[in-house]
Amino acid sequence: MLTPLVTFLSDFGTADWFVGVVHGVLHETCPGVRIVDLTHHIPPGDIERAAFVLEAATPDFGAGTIHLVVVDPGVGTGRRAIAVRAHDQVFVGPDNGVLEWALSAPGAEVREVTDTKLFRQPVSRTFHGRDVFAPVAAHLASGLKFESIGPVAKLPLRLTVQAPRTVNGELVGRIMFVDRFGNLLTNLTERHLAERFPNAAPEQFEVEAAGYVIRGLARAYADAPVGSTVAILDSSGRLEIAQVRGDASQRLGLSARDDVRVRLRR
């Protein structure tokens, strides 16, 4: 009988030994655990970026997956440790907004992790990834009931997310992430476009960012010549600006937080 998958997302980097130690604790607490590293290259303490990665990555995992998230600049303060059951998955991490993707789900259940018997003892004041979050995730992977980790947590800290808005008839979103390939991932999804512009055909759209205008939505990177810039709904249904076989971020000088506007061509 295989255990659930445990994914692991952190800002630990891979040059030190912190990721390895957390893996060790997971194996020790849940023999046979199956671990999938999402990434450990979140810049130190960058809660917003980690929250986006969680939103982007976790829908591709199955029901029952346990997500361990350790981006925890407030370690050692009074910030709570929480677990959230949402999207048929469980998310374990600090109560600092990094679990926004789970917290914002309809019907999300939030528990405060308080049962110290679940922790690795003694609990340090500086490494709760090792002493608190990993043990709890591993116990859940071993079959611990979600309800057993502690009482319902009221008022978890929420991340302020600027939702897409409509301005002068245009849908205005923003770039959330520049990926490995220089693709610019936005907070606009297929659903946003369908709601704002029902029944519009792909070629009717016009996408503007930093004065640069892209006409039509491509269906694949290859729908346009090499070197050209396209707007495309990516593998997660997210509007993305890409350069065909190139780096759109470098080409356009755009990065996270820049605005993106979508309208229909006249």
Residues that bind a copy of itself (CB under 8 A): 2, 5, 7, 9, 11-21, 23-25, 27-28, 31-32, 34, 36-41, 44-45, 53, 56-57, 60-62, 65, 73-77, 124-127, 130-131, 177, 179-182, 219-223, 232, 234-235, 240, 245, 247
Cα separations in angstroms, 118 against 134, 172, 228: 10, 45, 54
Token pair of 31, please? Answer: 């023999």
* Tokens 């800002």, located at residue: 11
CB of 148 to a copy of itself, least distance (A): 24
Instruction: Specify the residue, 148 or 250, whose C-beta has the smaller distance to a copy of itself.
Output: 250
CB of 57 to a copy of itself, least distance (A): 4
Instruction: Specify the residue, 40 or 111, whose C-beta has the smaller distance to a copy of itself.
Output: 40
CB of 97 to a copy of itself, least distance (A): 15
Query: Quick check: helix, strand or coil at residue 175?
Result: strand
Instruction: Specify the residue, 54 or 263, whose C-beta has the smaller distance to a copy of itself.
Output: 54
Q: What is the DSSP letter of 80?
A: P
CB of 13 to a copy of itself, least distance (A): 4
Instruction: Specify the residue, 47 or 86, whose C-beta has the smaller distance to a copy of itself.
Output: 47
Distance CA 188, CA 216 (A): 15
Instruction: Specify the residue, 15 or 167, whose C-beta has the smaller distance to a copy of itself.
Output: 15
Token pair of 71, please? Answer: 């981006």
Instruction: Specify the residue, 34 or 257, whose C-beta has the smaller distance to a copy of itself.
Output: 34
CB of 15 to a copy of itself, least distance (A): 4
CB of 91 to a copy of itself, least distance (A): 15
Cis peptide before 122 (omega within 30 of 0): yes
Distance CA 111, CA 88 (A): 15
Distance CA 26, CA 57 (A): 21
Q: For residue 186, what are the β-bridge partners?
A: 175
Contacts with 87 (C-beta within 8 Å, 6 or more apart), sequence order: 58, 59, 102, 105
